[in-house]
């Protein structure tokens, strides 16, 4: 079972820790047409019991790490995940399903929490992602978290996919390990 991850105001919990209220919110997000469009999918039609069964099965896969995302009040607001996890790289996905929480900085905090896990626990070399050219909020949030745009590709239905990447080296430049900070502080006082 995965560990609970924290960063700033947010907590990421394994799907096994979600209560019924959280599963109902996740199901509502999955059925929302606007969120589906942002993700390039159709609104979900699965009943809650089947969605829960499938996601829980997926979360046991070694190449997938899915977390429920909670705000500082302990309310469920979305999901964050790493998928296609290999020896060196993984792909990031995030959905803040509670629209009241869009544009309030929860995305970059959730991304930082899962990146810390990706780079410092899983010891990956890079995390990649793909978003749509018309999703300006997502691109801004990913850039705030340190991602750089690699390329743009024409997507089916005329949409552009923006591919982004962040390496472990770039991550550590922005988030030096705490022990490193302590050591450098100690050496300054010698």
Q: Which residues bind ligand COA (CB under 6 A)?
A: 35, 38-39, 78, 94-96, 102-108, 131, 135-138, 140-141, 144
Report the nearest approach of ligand COA to the CB of residue 183 (Å).
32
Q: Which is nearer to ligand COA, 104 or 148 (CB)?
A: 104
Report the nearest approach of ligand COA to the CB of residue 7 (Å).
13
What SS3 state is found at 74?
coil
Report the nearest approach of ligand COA to the CB of residue 18 (Å).
17
Q: Which residues pair with 80 in a beta bridge?
A: 67, 94
d(CA 58, CA 65): 9
Which two structure tokens, joined as six digits, stand for 24? 């109902």
Q: Which is nearer to ligand COA, 99 or 123 (CB)?
A: 99
Q: Which is nearer to ligand COA, 15 or 131 (CB)?
A: 131
Helix or strand (DSSP H, E) at 172: helix 168-174
* Residue of this chain nearest to ligand COA (CB atom): 107
d(CA 51, CA 59): 12
Helix or strand (DSSP H, E) at 126: strand 126-132
Q: Which is nearer to ligand COA, 59 or 139 (CB)?
A: 139
């Amino acid at each position: 079972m995965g560990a609970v991850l924290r960063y700033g105001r947010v907590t990421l919990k394994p799907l096994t820790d979600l209560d019924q209220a959280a599963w109902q919110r996740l199901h509502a997000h999955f059925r929302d047409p606007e969120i589906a469009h942002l993700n390039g999918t159709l609104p979900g039609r699965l009943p809650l019991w089947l969605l829960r069964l499938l996601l829980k099965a997926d979360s046991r896969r070694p190449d997938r790490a899915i977390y429920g995302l909670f705000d500082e009040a302990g309310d469920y607001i979305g999901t964050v995940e790493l998928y296609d996890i290999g020896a060196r790289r993984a792909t990031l996905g995030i959905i803040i399903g509670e629209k009241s929480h869009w544009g309030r900085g929860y995305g970059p905090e959730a991304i930082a929490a899962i990146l810390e896990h990706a780079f410092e626990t899983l010891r990956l070399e890079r995390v990649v992602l793909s978003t749509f050219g018309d999703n300006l909020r997502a691109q801004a949030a990913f850039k705030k978290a340190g991602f750089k745009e690699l390329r743009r590709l024409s997507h089916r239905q005329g949409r552009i996919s923006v591919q982004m990447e962040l390496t472990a080296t770039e991550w550590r430049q922005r988030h030096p390990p705490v022990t490193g900070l302590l050591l450098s502080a100690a050496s300054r006082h010698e």
